[in-house]
Structure 1
């Protein structure tokens, strides 16, 4: 355990959580939101409040539940062993979908350098699978290389996004923003719902907020506070950057762009600057993809270690890389890329995001509803329990709204994917029952 002098303070933890949260999730959102109009920016306000409730809840879970498994362990506190498996399974599926969505984002920005990629949907598909294979092979060398690359590349998107939210206002046109506000005359509630899943996507990863509580000074105070500060700052940057871009680029042009941040910097400065930003975005996507694929390999490996996933997912090389599990994951990613081929890259991205967000709400809701049991078992004060229960309930309600906002198609296929997980768990439960009979 780290000594008090070596522990992280409030600002240090806030910075870490902010960097973890801000990644490639924002990279295509301006184009996606522009398809509804600037009115969809109202979704950020709802999502920011919901994300803060989710972040606070996960911070509390991480502080008081020290069992391995993260969200899966939190859910098991209230719902038992089956929920541990379903949370792990759905999170694994969500990360597979997220990997393909990030690869689609990267291809969108690569099209500025390789126009061949946008000539046909098949060309785009070839680009997506090439990036998925490249990043997966890079993970074969184990966690050290992945960590070094991801820590560096994440700044390729953070710097342009934060920069745009600060300096972009010098180019901002109120008239253009007004024209982009509601070009399709949708209702306010409809506009908010259309953007909920997209904006929630940008905050995925918030579940890791409480993971560093053991290395933080006064974690009972600093972990929840850092999470709230980081989420607030991230929300401000997201809202500012996606709002200012609507007042610089005409709505129709923005809605059809596959590289919105490159486009806006080219408009603000010159095409060369736009190309530099586009290149940084590609690098950030690749680094983010490396990190997500590594995380998913570790999720499946941890589940295999406790015999909830097939043992092949837990087999590692001398570099501590579960390559066999990674190859299985790559096959699933490639299959999903085939199933979601679309003439519009932005449309393909939106389909993937809606499905990923719905499936990720399953472990979110399961784990968040474990907070009250965790707080009771930890014998916290009545006021702390009451605050946790209230904020946790708000987090669940927001998550349910996030499910609704994903749309019928995402919910339909997401429910099928979730139910398939129960088939797998039936075999696991049967195996465990047989083992118990043999012991007795």
Structure 2
């Protein structure tokens, strides 16, 4: 166990949380949000409040839950073994969808260097497939290689996005921002809802914020604070960068861009600078994809180790890589890429984004509703119980609102995917019943 002097304080953990959250999910959002208009800043404000409630709730769950398994373990506290499986299953599916969405983002940013990519939907599809295959194969060498690559490449998106949030205001035109406020004359409530799933996408991963409590000084106080500060910092960068870009690029150009951050830096400086930023974004996408694919392989391996996924997911190579599980995941990613193929990269990205957000809200709601049980088990003070319960309930309500904002198609498809999971669980539950009966007979 780390000594107190070696443990992280609130500042160190805040930085870690913010960096972990600010991945490649942001790089296509300016173009997606341009469809709603600069009124989408209101969606950011609502999402910031919701994301901070979610971050606080997960921090509390991480501090009080005595079992391993993350969100799945939190869900099981209130809902039992079946919810442990469903939370693991839906999180796994969400990461599969997210990986394809990141690959689509990478293809969009790669197009300026290889125009062939956008000459036909088949070329776009083949590019997405190539990115998924190459990054998955790179993971075969195990966690050390993946960690080293991801820790460097993540800065390829953090630097341009954070840089734009700081220096972009020198090019910001308030009149251009105002002109793009509400291009489709939507109601205020409708405009906020149309941007909620998009802005929520940028905060997916906040559930991992409380995973480092063992390495933190005074975790009961510092983990929730770091989660709130880290989420708040990421939120400021997100809202600043996406707002400033809407005051630099005309809305009709932004809404059709497959590489919005590359485009804005081209307009601010030179096309060469734009190409450098675009190249950095491609590198960041590749690194992010490496990390998420390996993370999902580990999620399925952990579930298999607990006999909740088929045993093939737990087999590892000499490099500690669950290659069999990775190949199954790759097959699912390729199938999903086929099902969502579109002539428009941005349309394909938005379809995947809405589906991923809805699927991810299932384990969110299941796990955060477990906080009530954990608070009572740990006999917290009355004031702490009321504060945590109030914030946790707000987080769940916001997550349900996020489901509503995903739209009919995402909810319909996501509901079917979730229900299919119960078929798998039925077989697992039947197997466990046989095992328990055999033990009783012996």
Which whole-Å CA distance do the structure 2 matches of 1:251 and 1:174 have between them?
13
Aligned residue number for residue 333 of structure 1: 333
Aligned residue number for residue 133 of structure 1: 133
Which whole-Å CA distance do the structure 1 matches of 2:113 and 2:265 have between them?
16
Aligned residue number for residue 20 of structure 1: 20
Contact 1:169 1:244 in 2 (8 A): yes
Which whole-Å CA distance do the structure 1 matches of 2:243 and 2:6 have between them?
40
Which whole-Å CA distance do the structure 2 matches of 1:152 and 1:73 have between them?
31
1:361, distance to aligned residue in structure 2 (A): 0.2
Aligned residue number for residue 39 of structure 1: 39
Per-residue CA deviations over 1:82-114 (Å, capped at 9, x if unaligned) read: 000000000000000000000000000000100
1:242, distance to aligned residue in structure 2 (A): 0.4
Partner-residue secondary structure (3-state), 2:347? helix
Scaled by the length of structure 1, the TM-score of the pair is 0.99
Which whole-Å CA distance do the structure 1 matches of 2:84 and 2:293 have between them?
21
Aligned residue number for residue 306 of structure 1: 306
Aligned residue number for residue 149 of structure 2: 149
1:66, distance to aligned residue in structure 2 (A): 3.1
Contact 1:91 1:363 in 2 (8 A): yes
Partner-residue secondary structure (3-state), 2:380? coil
Which whole-Å CA distance do the structure 2 matches of 1:171 and 1:96 have between them?
38
CA RMSD of aligned residues (A): 0.6
Which whole-Å CA distance do the structure 2 matches of 1:222 and 1:319 have between them?
35
Per-residue CA deviations over 1:153-200 (Å, capped at 9, x if unaligned) read: 111000100110110000011111111111111111111111100100
Matched, 1:6 2:6: yes
Which whole-Å CA distance do the structure 1 matches of 2:264 and 2:94 have between them?
30
Which whole-Å CA distance do the structure 2 matches of 1:378 and 1:100 have between them?
40
Aligned residue number for residue 184 of structure 2: 184
Which whole-Å CA distance do the structure 1 matches of 2:146 and 2:372 have between them?
36
Matches within 5 A, 1:122-271: 122-271=122-271
1:41, distance to aligned residue in structure 2 (A): 2.0
Structure 1 residue ranges (4+ consecutive) displaced by more than 3 angstroms after TM superposition: none
Which whole-Å CA distance do the structure 1 matches of 2:134 and 2:11 have between them?
36
How many residues align? The count is 440
Contact 1:33 1:41 in 2 (8 A): no
Matches within 5 A, 1:365-384: 365-384=365-384
1:16, distance to aligned residue in structure 2 (A): 0.3
Per-residue CA deviations over 1:265-310 (Å, capped at 9, x if unaligned) read: 0000000000000000000000000111011000000000011100
Matched, 1:364 2:364: yes
Partner-residue secondary structure (3-state), 1:412? helix
Which whole-Å CA distance do the structure 1 matches of 2:201 and 2:184 have between them?
24
Which whole-Å CA distance do the structure 2 matches of 1:276 and 1:100 have between them?
24
1:35, distance to aligned residue in structure 2 (A): 1.1
Partner-residue secondary structure (3-state), 2:343? coil
Aligned residue number for residue 116 of structure 2: 116
Contact 1:146 1:294 in 2 (8 A): yes
Partner-residue secondary structure (3-state), 1:203? coil
Aligned residue number for residue 77 of structure 2: 77
1:376, distance to aligned residue in structure 2 (A): 1.2
